[in-house]
Amino acid sequence: MEIKNILPVGTVVTLKDVDVNIIISGYCSVSEKNPEYTWDYSGFLFPIGYIGEESIVSFDTEQIEKVITYGFQDEEQLRYMEEFKKILATIEKNGKEA
Protein backbone atom coordinates (compact mmCIF):
# COMPACT_ATOMS: atom_id res chain seq x y z
CA MET A 1 0.00 0.00 0.00
CA GLU A 2 1.24 3.48 -0.80
CA ILE A 3 1.37 4.83 2.75
CA LYS A 4 1.13 8.52 1.86
CA ASN A 5 -2.13 8.04 -0.09
CA ILE A 6 -4.39 6.04 2.21
CA LEU A 7 -7.98 6.70 1.22
CA PRO A 8 -10.49 7.19 4.05
CA VAL A 9 -13.36 4.82 4.74
CA GLY A 10 -16.38 5.94 2.74
CA THR A 11 -14.34 6.84 -0.34
CA VAL A 12 -16.00 5.68 -3.57
CA VAL A 13 -13.68 4.41 -6.32
CA THR A 14 -13.79 2.64 -9.63
CA LEU A 15 -11.42 -0.23 -10.25
CA LYS A 16 -9.59 -1.01 -13.47
CA ASP A 17 -11.57 -3.38 -15.72
CA VAL A 18 -14.66 -3.22 -13.47
CA ASP A 19 -17.84 -1.35 -14.42
CA VAL A 20 -19.16 -0.69 -10.90
CA ASN A 21 -18.30 1.71 -8.09
CA ILE A 22 -16.84 0.40 -4.82
CA ILE A 23 -17.15 2.11 -1.43
CA ILE A 24 -14.14 1.53 0.83
CA SER A 25 -15.13 -0.01 4.16
CA GLY A 26 -11.82 -1.15 5.63
CA TYR A 27 -8.11 -1.82 5.37
CA CYS A 28 -5.71 -4.78 5.35
CA SER A 29 -8.27 -7.30 4.16
CA VAL A 30 -7.48 -11.03 4.20
CA SER A 31 -9.62 -13.50 2.27
CA GLU A 32 -10.34 -17.14 3.05
CA LYS A 33 -9.20 -18.09 -0.46
CA ASN A 34 -5.72 -16.63 0.10
CA PRO A 35 -5.15 -16.09 3.84
CA GLU A 36 -1.42 -15.38 3.39
CA TYR A 37 -2.04 -12.26 1.32
CA THR A 38 -3.06 -8.89 2.76
CA TRP A 39 -5.13 -6.70 0.44
CA ASP A 40 -4.88 -2.92 0.85
CA TYR A 41 -8.64 -2.30 1.02
CA SER A 42 -11.99 -3.96 1.41
CA GLY A 43 -15.30 -2.57 0.29
CA PHE A 44 -18.74 -3.12 -1.16
CA LEU A 45 -20.55 -2.34 -4.37
CA PHE A 46 -21.89 1.20 -4.28
CA PRO A 47 -24.71 2.05 -3.66
CA ILE A 48 -25.80 -1.49 -2.77
CA GLY A 49 -23.53 -2.02 0.26
CA TYR A 50 -23.22 -5.20 2.27
CA ILE A 51 -25.64 -7.95 1.27
CA GLY A 52 -23.66 -10.94 2.51
CA GLU A 53 -20.07 -12.16 2.62
CA GLU A 54 -20.03 -12.70 -1.14
CA SER A 55 -20.48 -8.93 -1.60
CA ILE A 56 -17.12 -8.07 0.01
CA VAL A 57 -14.56 -6.82 -2.50
CA SER A 58 -10.85 -6.89 -1.63
CA PHE A 59 -8.41 -4.88 -3.74
CA ASP A 60 -5.04 -3.16 -3.83
CA THR A 61 -4.16 0.49 -4.43
CA GLU A 62 -2.81 -0.17 -7.92
CA GLN A 63 -6.21 -1.55 -8.98
CA ILE A 64 -7.91 1.80 -8.37
CA GLU A 65 -8.60 3.61 -11.62
CA LYS A 66 -10.43 6.67 -10.31
CA VAL A 67 -11.57 8.25 -7.04
CA ILE A 68 -15.21 9.33 -7.39
CA THR A 69 -15.53 10.99 -3.97
CA TYR A 70 -13.53 10.98 -0.74
CA GLY A 71 -14.85 9.68 2.57
CA PHE A 72 -15.34 11.86 5.62
CA GLN A 73 -12.22 13.10 7.40
CA ASP A 74 -11.99 14.79 10.78
CA GLU A 75 -9.33 15.08 13.49
CA GLU A 76 -10.10 11.64 14.89
CA GLN A 77 -9.79 10.00 11.48
CA LEU A 78 -6.52 11.84 10.77
CA ARG A 79 -5.09 10.64 14.13
CA TYR A 80 -6.16 7.11 13.28
CA MET A 81 -4.42 7.35 9.91
CA GLU A 82 -1.14 8.34 11.60
CA GLU A 83 -1.31 5.23 13.80
CA PHE A 84 -2.42 3.10 10.87
CA LYS A 85 0.61 4.23 8.83
CA LYS A 86 2.85 2.77 11.55
CA ILE A 87 1.02 -0.55 11.31
CA LEU A 88 1.30 -0.53 7.51
CA ALA A 89 5.02 0.16 7.69
CA THR A 90 5.39 -2.98 9.81
CA ILE A 91 3.35 -5.03 7.33
CA GLU A 92 5.36 -3.72 4.39
CA LYS A 93 8.63 -4.37 6.20
CA ASN A 94 7.61 -7.99 6.73
CA GLY A 95 6.17 -8.31 3.22
CA LYS A 96 2.54 -8.49 2.11
CA GLU A 97 2.76 -12.26 1.95
CA ALA A 98 3.56 -14.26 5.07
pLDDT tens digit sequence for 56-87: 999 999 999 999 999 998 999 889 888 888 88
The confidence score (pLDDT) of residue 2 equals 47
pLDDT tens digit sequence for 6-16: 899 999 999 99
Give the span between the Cα atoms of 12 and 10, in whole angstroms: 6
**Which whole number is the average pLDDT over 35-55?**
88
Residues 6+ apart with CB under 8 A from 16: 63, 64, 65
The residue among 36 and 26 whose pLDDT is bigger is 26
Give the span between the Cα atoms of 46 and 48, in whole angstroms: 5
8 Å CB contact between 43 and 22: yes
Other CB atoms within a 10 A radius of the CB of residue 60 amount to 16
- Residue 52's pLDDT band, with cuts at 50, 70 and 90, is confident
**Which whole number is the average pLDDT over 21-45?**
89
